[in-house]
Structure 1
């Protein structure tokens, strides 16, 4: 369980670094002029990256299951309010592919760009980097909002109830 905003900010920063590394890997794969290699690579990257982000924020299905009932309900409500498709869920190949399909512009643009010598590979790499970074950072922000709501809820629960007011 995340104990403070400072800890939450540190987790967010670590996750942004993980996304940047993964985005660079995705871009490197997109440069390879073989159709389909980048999509398979992106699926594999996201199958590793998203669960790691969920774990850092305490939002894997197992971590949520271990919470007390009240906390679990609050976290699930926060996930629903944020509209996250990946927080608190088992990340499957089918889920990742569906999310990548929603980013179909990237797939179409990199697929066509690869056939333009030299410049096409660079364009494909740039598009791939940007798309992966956008997906990863969007997920981080969703997780951050969920974890912040949980943190604020826990801090409210820890505050002592106001006692009787004594006359001065």
Structure 2
């Protein structure tokens, strides 16, 4: 079954600033997903969950920053623009934009893909093939969560007509 949701790249449209922010965010996401894959292949109970939560709790604010959606960035906006961002966040329904991202919040997000995470836990105990499957699931899980967040950020930035911060903030 194909994913019917548009990608962040598609959502960004022809806006060069949004396209560039998506590319930078995807590079970050890919690196973190590779780290998650490595942690997932280690047969230590719970290690992958802890690593995933730690990786996401650092990654999601970095993606927010690319789009000007950190709490402190939003606070610096003029009141009208801030209201537009808040409306856009509510419309998208994200609990991770414009808020302090904690590991507890990330673990709640991870529950949305709980079946994959449970399969990952079981798979890692099958020698070699199970560890490879667990690593692939670890990569896919983190990549999925990151892509969803990336799409939310693009939608909010586009809807609120934000001027994105310069790369490197």
For normalisation by structure 2, the TM-score amounts to 0.85
Moved over 2 A (4+): none
**Are the counterparts in 2 of residues 26 and 128 from structure 1 also a CA contact under 8 Å?**
yes
Distance 1:27 1:51 in 2: 21
Q: How is 1:71-90 mapped onto 2 (pairs within 5 angstroms)?
A: 71-90=81-100
Distance 2:104 2:17 in 1: 32
Partner SS state of residue 39, structure 2: helix
Partner SS state of residue 117, structure 2: helix
Alpha-carbon shift at residue 148 of structure 1 (Å): 1.0
Distance 1:102 1:144 in 2: 21
Q: How is 1:37-48 mapped onto 2 (pairs within 5 angstroms)?
A: 37-48=47-58
Alpha-carbon shift at residue 103 of structure 1 (Å): 1.5
Alpha-carbon shift at residue 145 of structure 1 (Å): 0.8
Distance 2:47 2:40 in 1: 7
Question: Is it true that 1:55 corresponds to 2:65 in the alignment?
Answer: yes
Distance 2:106 2:161 in 1: 28
For 1:128, which of 105, 128, 138 is the aligned residue? Answer: 138
**Are the counterparts in 2 of residues 58 and 64 from structure 1 also a CA contact under 8 Å?**
yes
**Structure 1 spans left out of the alignment, 5+ residues:** 155-168
Distance 2:116 2:138 in 1: 7
**Are the counterparts in 2 of residues 5 and 148 from structure 1 also a CA contact under 8 Å?**
no
1:159 aligns to what?
Answer: none
- How many aligned positions are there? 150
Question: Is it true that 1:23 corresponds to 2:23 in the alignment?
Answer: no
For 2:45, which of 35, 51, 59 is the aligned residue? Answer: 35
**Structure 2 spans left out of the alignment, 5+ residues:** 1-13, 164-169
Alpha-carbon shift at residue 30 of structure 1 (Å): 0.4
- Encode CA deviations 1:94-124: one digit per residue, 9 max, x unaligned: 1011111221112210111011111110000
**Are the counterparts in 1 of residues 29 and 146 from structure 2 also a CA contact under 8 Å?**
yes
Alpha-carbon shift at residue 61 of structure 1 (Å): 0.8
Distance 2:144 2:111 in 1: 14
